[in-house]
Structure 1
């Protein structure tokens, strides 16, 4: 999105609208998209695809095991116990660095199209992404040298795209966004309605409200899993025909992976397809006929999984199919006949809608949402409300009643699954000493992933309570505010010691008499108002005050009854990249960029020299009364010819080893001889 630039999808350097999420190397040349994907058959350990599976994945998790079953890349653990990938030359790259390269490539395309620098980015992520995975996405953006404006869920972005050209009534209209992508299948129940743009204004401007009511997903089912099963058919067929195990041959497996994707696309529109790979392995040319029925039989156990996210989303939203206007299909795998058949059987063919671009709806919706966050653009007023996919709770130890008693662990649910993004909750504690809060998922979100998000040490409590007590506060408490951001990150925003201080002066008594109220009474009113809009946390324990939801102003002037406390945040067992790690990674990428820019300048200088040499040679070899001969003397042409032959000889003998300055100096020397001729 840029002022004056048409609102459309970026084209890559080959003018293609769809760019594969792949980065690779052909020796020293770094490639992206389909170019990087296609070299896997020749350089199987230098082409890296499907990196989404590895974002923030612990090295020993099932996600990494699945990745090794679909990829020929070599993996190894990082210092953070995540995954790095190793090239054939031994160079190691973290997942964040490889994704950052892809983001930097897209930025280059954007800057070329817009004619200006691009620094801000908005990205779509699956709604099931954990905080660890969201951290990994943002880390990759920062390593690429950009700033994340926001993260938006895939289904929500498609909903924005759907609402771009449509109007809705005040009564909510429910649609299901069914997204069958490469890595998973997701379903989001979205409510579309019209609301006043400004409730306080007398103008009757209308805004479109999109509220996500429920989500469902299956992380193990998607286009990649279909490709894996189809490749397994090809592998078994090859072994059966040729009595050789191709699984040990990385080049052969990479070639079969590419062929499986091609055959799957053909089977989407045909009953059978011919698989053909020349010199696949062992000097064998492989050919085989694959039928759609054979493929669907291999995926029979997935049939029930295809539609399950729809019913999970409906259950989470508290709705039924009768409330749904349509099921909007999106994602490349939604074109697969077996997936369409399963969805139609589940919801009825009359509810199926194909009215968004399956490949581009998410990115166009995200771009429009990003433009709405900026003041540079005037866009349709679309307001979104998204929800958290998992239960998030805080865990802490109660204060021991004596030195011999064992403190109990108390778990308090703060943001239940389905909580709105942008919510805040304030927890109130009766504590006398410093203590720690752990923010964790109530249940394991993904097999092999940790549940801990962060741990916060709240300090300076005894001194703060002492100061409040000396100031006349009665029964001071500790308050900690947690925030669930619009991008799905949970943080502990602040912690304070608070105590109501009575003002016994005449002015204070008059203030209380006439209803102005103290700071604590104002706070209580705010608590009641917010609790009506957001579910409060009712978990309580002996010695603790029940947690309550309350609004926290963005800017709160310091008052004498509130004292800020110290916060020391410790990261989870799978921490995001540190500042120094991101700086080092950015420097590595910048070094590659400089080397590639130098290589491009060298090639441009060489091409420029060669082009000039051939132009001079053609002019010298022309016969007859040509304009060049009329504008030059015989002696000048002889000098030029001698210099030309000298330069051509140098280029033939030393051109491959020369640097950019050598090419430029050689052309400059030849041009100095030809300066008297206007044609040169």
Structure 2
């Protein structure tokens, strides 16, 4: 049934995605705490899951360094117990967090052997290695770059688009602006542009709705996502109706987020912790303590705990066996499902809280909900599903919906969303309506911390869309120093420290005739809910006095040129207007300016004595930024990370070329040894014994050379040695061709028309009858021989031979 649904979805998406005039490729990435999935859409690839190098549909999140070599996914997880200091797995919770945050402490408890340090002066996390350090954003950028290369390998070679530049990435609903920007920074490091950050629940809802039809009446569904790191419950409503302004009755699907609830730490990793504690206790009871100080043994035990938890989702017990776990001790035990479920009883009550939170925000009851769409790898835990049915759904198991792929629904929906936002393709009309859970605001303070006033920039409940605003700030007239503190929800993010306000104000007044003058903040929120403040400036309504008939035209031109170069945002004349919108000078006014510029300064024209409309001018205010917590990458740090990523890419490219050259040389050396030792007819015939022994010795020497120094050799040296060995085959091939050419000349001697001698004789009519008689006699001699002739012919032929 799942495969049929996947096929149907693929067909619908293929029909819905029609290439526009601009060709491109969009990559969707579901970078989870535990595993990562990716999907690609392009003109040559309708809708495909990006496979790993091992042809898997998902991979472990993270990478590891083995010297200068980078290993990704499952390969990184394999060497993590041996190289814990250079293995970076499951680091998603560290994005936008400080070293002192609870997330960092929890990470270190789950990954012994890792070392976290502050990333410069940004208060964010970096991994310390024996010889370097890597910010979390840079490691995520490397992972994105690796996925990008895998995706580009799926694009047709002859396609106009054989590169990926735009991506859509799934995120948990609780990610704040700093965490969201960290993903955007990571994408930029890898040379990608994030067109959309899609919350997990919305991505799954898009995937669920893309192959279904709805009515105009709202239909409510929950998306329950239990992943490796967190649990979320997103209450979604689906409705379908005619698009506004449509002439042909075209309908559009509307997906509205009615409410969200989440638990940031309840997930599969927490279950792994409980299983790990069970195993650790069993080992300590049998073999004593001491293993707690060995990071490699702990990592091996944790990996086995994850495997055991997964098996218990389908079986009632699991056998654990680890060879030489610690101090040459083999650890073997059996864990039952009942034993495991008893250890997580305190976690079960936490499953219901996200649902209760979401329903309270929407003002709905669980009876209003049609179904609960289950997704996320940890949703397969049987006891979690029992709590969902008995606790959340009041025993109504029919509302549990398992008709989406729990692993791939989010990445498929995110990719569809990215395609729609990027406008690379025309897609099925799906409108997504989300509102801000936490608003953005600012508070103006004196230097002593006393509050001057506060204002909302983007209030909670505002629609999430690309939005720019200019907010007027009320600062007392006599204030010379102030602090503007910006908040996301109740959390302070950064401050603008303003100094010399009165001096700056005086400068603006001296240069402009302002009827109104006040400071404004330029703020912007993206469709991915990232927040930015581009600056603070004085906003001045410039009053231009009316000209009299005695004023020269040059003065009028002076004012118009001033207004032309200072045109900007205009506001209402009322003092209480807070939100300002940008306006520009009209075409008629530009034309008037142009005609005035062509007039001579000595000419005078009658002027209207009516008061002209005021113009606006903006003058930046200097400020210093300080941050309350973690902040995102600056330009210089981002450039450094980009350069280092390119350097590692070159090392990877050189290593692949070296490995290819080494494999080719090794295979060819074994081939020569086989030709000579097994006396290949072709080589035996066209070479002498000395030549064969010489090249055999070269092949054997090459094999020894590869085993001793092959890892450190350059591809140029390997290719040069390969060329030397190929001389043997080239020698044999040349002699073979020479002999074949000689045989062909013997069997087929060359003749040409010029060498033939033709003598044209005149026809002798007198001897024509005699010639005819001779021809008839010759013809009779070639008639079918008698039986006697046939019997005796072979003997004659044998005598001739």
Identify which of 316, 331, 341 aligns with 2:386: 341
Instruction: Give the TM-score normalised by the residue count of structure 2.
Output: 0.73
Q: What's 1:562 paired with?
A: 616
* Displacement after TM superposition at 1:645 (Å): 2.0
Identify which of 678, 694, 704 aligns with 1:652: 704
Deviations 1:136-185 (A, max 9, x none): 21222222232222211111111111121112222222211111111111
CA contact (8 A) 1:461 1:565 kept: no
Mark the runs of 5 or more structure 1 residues left unpaired by the alignment. Answer: 445-450, 507-518, 528-544
**Distance across 2 between alignment mates of 1:56 and 1:554:** 39
**Distance across 2 between alignment mates of 1:253 and 1:39:** 14
Does residue 223 in structure 1 map to residue 268 in structure 2? yes
Moved more, 429-438 or 479-488: 429-438
CA contact (8 A) 1:124 1:152 kept: yes
SS in 2 for 1:582: helix
**Distance across 2 between alignment mates of 1:464 and 1:414:** 25
Does residue 360 in structure 1 map to residue 408 in structure 2? yes
Instruction: Give the TM-score normalised by the residue count of structure 1.
Output: 0.85
CA contact (8 A) 1:124 1:362 kept: yes
**Distance across 2 between alignment mates of 1:370 and 1:260:** 36
Root mean square deviation of aligned Cα = 3.2
**Distance across 2 between alignment mates of 1:463 and 1:169:** 61
Identify which of 120, 123, 128 aligns with 1:86: 128
Pick closer, same or farther for the CA change 1:35–1:327 going to 2, 3 Å: same
Q: What's 1:174 paired with?
A: 220
* Displacement after TM superposition at 1:231 (Å): 0.4
Deviations 1:192-243 (A, max 9, x none): 222444x234232222222212211111211111111110111111111112
* Displacement after TM superposition at 1:244 (Å): 2.2
Q: What's 2:16 paired with?
A: none
* Displacement after TM superposition at 1:673 (Å): 4.3
Moved more, 91-100 or 277-286: 91-100
* Displacement after TM superposition at 1:29 (Å): 3.5
Identify which of 672, 678, 686 aligns with 1:633: 686
Matches for 1:465-476 after TM superposition, within 5 Å: 470=513, 473=515, 475-476=516-517
**Distance across 2 between alignment mates of 1:419 and 1:315:** 18
Pick closer, same or farther for the CA change 1:313–1:453 going to 2, 3 Å: farther
Q: What's 2:49 paired with?
A: 9
Q: What's 2:541 paired with?
A: 499
Q: What's 1:576 paired with?
A: 632
Deviations 1:647-672 (A, max 9, x none): 43134136525321111111222334
CA contact (8 A) 2:222 2:372 kept: yes
Q: What's 2:553 paired with?
A: none
CA contact (8 A) 2:544 2:614 kept: no
* Displacement after TM superposition at 1:553 (Å): 7.2
Matches for 1:466-615 after TM superposition, within 5 Å: 470=513, 473=515, 475-493=516-534, 495=537, 497-499=539-541, 548=578, 561-566=615-620, 570=625, 572=627, 573-615=629-671
* Displacement after TM superposition at 1:273 (Å): 1.5
Identify which of 137, 142, 147 aligns with 1:101: 142
Pick closer, same or farther for the CA change 1:676–1:579 going to 2, 3 Å: same
**Distance across 1 between alignment mates of 2:497 and 2:48:** 44
CA contact (8 A) 1:640 1:670 kept: no
SS in 1 for 2:640: helix
Moved more, 144-153 or 364-373: 144-153
**Distance across 1 between alignment mates of 2:368 and 2:219:** 8
* Displacement after TM superposition at 1:442 (Å): 3.8
Deviations 1:299-358 (A, max 9, x none): 111111112111111222232223322111111111111221121121232321112111
**Distance across 2 between alignment mates of 1:658 and 1:333:** 46
Does residue 351 in structure 1 map to residue 399 in structure 2? yes
**Distance across 2 between alignment mates of 1:634 and 1:124:** 65
Q: What's 2:13 paired with?
A: none
Mark the runs of 5 or more structure 2 residues left unpaired by the alignment. Answer: 1-40, 549-566, 591-612, 737-801
**Distance across 2 between alignment mates of 1:254 and 1:45:** 12
SS in 1 for 2:271: helix
Does residue 69 in structure 1 map to residue 109 in structure 2? yes
CA contact (8 A) 1:482 1:493 kept: yes
Does residue 159 in structure 1 map to residue 205 in structure 2? yes
